[in-house]
Structure 1
């Protein structure tokens, strides 16, 4: 950016003293576009400046996903602090090591930029250590990044002296799908207690935890409940603000309008309550709203079909085997066309699958689950071979059942799903109402298999909702 001497001086002073200005300035320099302002950005930046001034030692920020948390709290805050105090020592962790490394690399890219040198000309990177997740300044500053469960031996955050000298920055310590596991939640708490807290070089070294709420007893909940015995400053940012007069306001209307947020809330109330409203609940149930499903009499045409399968274990008293045929209609709605279900043994199960594949025809893809281990792979391969000539895919089933079902449930809950009339309708709806607390969930698992296959299994709940909203906007515009 070309500036005359006066402009450069003013820009330097503002960027050096105002973290939010620095962030917006560097964003425009890096991305070649203006930062879209939101009031919660200013709230976060003011809190981070209070951390830098030593007014806040322990900070928790609960914020919806994709609301600029990492850009502000990790990438730009590290760069700005190193400009102010070039020998700062930072440790940064996130649930995935590659995310933490990328964040540290982005901060390094800022420090290396010409625009940054105009603001902080005295900061230089050391050539001795310049890895993505382990880089230094020539003044002794350190940025070390690793996965939340990673090794941090030999590294510390902050220094034993007065004034700001670094921080421990924790960004999303746990994946959303892991939060239902008590073992994983406790593991995150243990890692914080037994490893991360011991990496502070001074009791006054700040700790910042920024995350979406996932469970009442996640790391945020544990810390706010006095888990480590310290008092935490808490910034809680709800995506949909309910005002005293009963009206509603969007936290970031340019990102999500009130209308969009209410649709997301309707589609996935539990996910929305935790990740977007920061009010998680351990209460299960009400994942599906089957009364939103429209019953139709004629099979729609022009549909891409897939039958998903959930194989039962034993004949008689065990879990049933179920196959659900789903398709996406030309107008964007989803159709549940047929469900087959029976309690059968292994041999009869394979015959049931083959008979149904023949009845469906070659145009209907069949997706079967692949259990872990060599035996699971061999069984899936044998099933694929038995249906030679048909489109059959075998994919590992991973993650939590509820998490796998949520993208499909979102479509049901917003009334974007129809069902062809059949004697199986009532049983499927009953299973939906009780899920995940019912005795059986085989039909739901089969529906999720088919839905995720047609959805390419690459879009999670939030991405599915965003895609759905874009399609709805396009329809309105037309």
Structure 2
């Protein structure tokens, strides 16, 4: 039987110092008791996976890292607090310069303060005596005597210093995922400002966030094929989305629905989160895909196809108008919807293109002529923009572009999702079909991502057409019923 030995305290410190040098995960677990002394640490393989990828950044194996993980998984603490302190201390790289940013500067400052507090604690200093500069030791920025610094700033207003590590933690708030303006501001900051904040081609950019929208920063990275190592850890395992990365990591889960971090989020808590968040937020924030599996407000399997239109249909062509030829901007879309005598609704045709103002007018006129030739009496409906200018534009279209056609305009009411709800209800009931055509795939791709997808023009045009078919049109000019007979 081995006798119990009492090691000198200095030896235990040396052993801890060496263990932390070798492993960021070990350092994180040892630092926890000084960062959160009142809270027991719950550790899981997901935290080890994040630490392994951050450590690969330190070794120079990764210079661009994207980590998509659910909230509550220590992503900010590991990335913005523990990792910088580990590089300065156990990793022996006090010269490294960190820029930390988030959608709110207060969040970046929060992590700045925690990191500084950790470095100044007696536990840290007794093992890694990193000295901070007295004349540059503030909440926004602190520096050590080896010229390393850590600076906090807001994501959309990054200016000034450059760093060896740029840490981007949650560039968007949950509310920003519903704001086109916020999504655009984040896109411009990420593409035009953030790349200028790194020192050289050996510097690293680390993005850690939950998914909020198809067009969020993660979506931008993935859609453009930017050379990021992507660590994606959904709350529930989806075998067809198993994550594997270039450092040899492979999601170890086996069963569909298996939890990511049961030590911290057991089944009952995850189920409650899912009920509270709803399907959209669950898909993004928990599952790291910005629409639920199978679709968002609409699901693909709700739409059957038919080879030909029944006799005796009523038709409406609904439009969603844009006026730009930019391939990345919204498109003009016109959706022809039919109601069959038996009550079924049929999406019979889609016209969609990115066009300037004159191109939009030509498309609307040509489509109206095509509809009349193919189906006879087809009503048309398009939106009026707010204000007098919008009304003038609508009247111009009726008087000079759509003369002789049964078209009318009306202002939009409510948001796009609200307008789509009646159509979604009929689709879910199995009462909406697509006429087989080359446009089917693009239409289904858009409608399955709605409302979280980048494009919404076909859905909005279809919603307008459906509303026209199912509600009695007012005959007064005050409602915009100016038929194109001038």
CA 1:236–1:23: 2 relative to 1, 3 Å: same
Q: Deviations over 1:410-467 (max 9, x none)?
A: xxxxxxxxxxxxxxxxxxxxxxxx999889xxxxxxxxxxxxxxxxxxxxxxxxxxxx
Contact 2:17 2:127 in 1 (8 A): yes
- In structure 2, the residue matched to 1:66 is 72
Contact 1:24 1:34 in 2 (8 A): no
- In structure 1, the residue matched to 2:147 is 140
Q: Deviations over 1:99-131 (max 9, x none)?
A: 10110111001110111112212x100011111
SS of equivalent residue, structure 1 residue 274:
helix
Alignment of 1:268-417 (within 5 A): 268-281=278-291, 285=297
SS of equivalent residue, structure 1 residue 214:
coil
Contact 1:243 1:249 in 2 (8 A): no
1:285 Cα offset (Å): 3.2
- In structure 2, the residue matched to 1:252 is 261
1:34 Cα offset (Å): 4.2
- In structure 2, the residue matched to 1:75 is 81
1:401 Cα offset (Å): 11
- In structure 1, the residue matched to 2:116 is 108
- In structure 2, the residue matched to 1:201 is 199
Q: Deviations over 1:205-244 (max 9, x none)?
A: 00000000001111111112226xx311000011112458
Contact 2:28 2:82 in 1 (8 A): yes
Contact 2:236 2:256 in 1 (8 A): no
CA distance in 1, matches of 2:74, 2:416: 29
Contact 1:16 1:119 in 2 (8 A): no
Alignment of 1:149-298 (within 5 A): 149-153=156-160, 155-158=161-164, 167-226=165-224, 230-242=226-238, 247-267=256-276, 268-281=278-291, 285=297
SS of equivalent residue, structure 2 residue 258:
strand
CA 1:264–1:401: 2 relative to 1, 3 Å: farther
1:39 Cα offset (Å): 0.8
Contact 2:170 2:210 in 1 (8 A): yes
CA distance in 2, matches of 1:401, 1:29: 49
Unpaired stretches in structure 2, ≥5 consecutive residues:
1-6, 241-253, 299-414, 418-449, 453-459, 465-486
1:248 Cα offset (Å): 2.7
SS of equivalent residue, structure 1 residue 126:
strand
Contact 1:240 1:258 in 2 (8 A): no
- In structure 1, the residue matched to 2:250 is none
Unpaired stretches in structure 1, ≥5 consecutive residues:
159-166, 287-399, 403-433, 440-478
1:201 Cα offset (Å): 1.1
CA distance in 2, matches of 1:401, 1:82: 50
Q: Deviations over 1:265-319 (max 9, x none)?
A: 3450110011100011296538xxxxxxxxxxxxxxxxxxxxxxxxxxxxxxxxx
CA distance in 2, matches of 1:178, 1:204: 32
SS of equivalent residue, structure 1 residue 119:
coil
SS of equivalent residue, structure 1 residue 146:
strand
CA distance in 2, matches of 1:195, 1:241: 35
Contact 2:98 2:167 in 1 (8 A): yes
CA distance in 1, matches of 2:291, 2:257: 22
1:179 Cα offset (Å): 1.3
TM-score normalised by length of structure 2: 0.54
Q: Bigger radius of gyration, 1 or 2? A: 2
1:144 Cα offset (Å): 0.8
SS of equivalent residue, structure 2 residue 62:
coil
Contact 2:68 2:209 in 1 (8 A): yes
CA distance in 2, matches of 1:145, 1:246: 41
CA distance in 1, matches of 2:28, 2:78: 7
CA 1:247–1:185: 2 relative to 1, 3 Å: closer
CA distance in 1, matches of 2:34, 2:217: 35
Contact 2:158 2:194 in 1 (8 A): no
- The CA RMSD measured in Å over matched residues stands at 2.9
Of the candidates 16, 22, 47, which is equivalent to residue 17 of structure 1?
A: 22
CA distance in 2, matches of 1:401, 1:247: 33
Contact 1:168 1:200 in 2 (8 A): yes
TM-score normalised by length of structure 1: 0.55
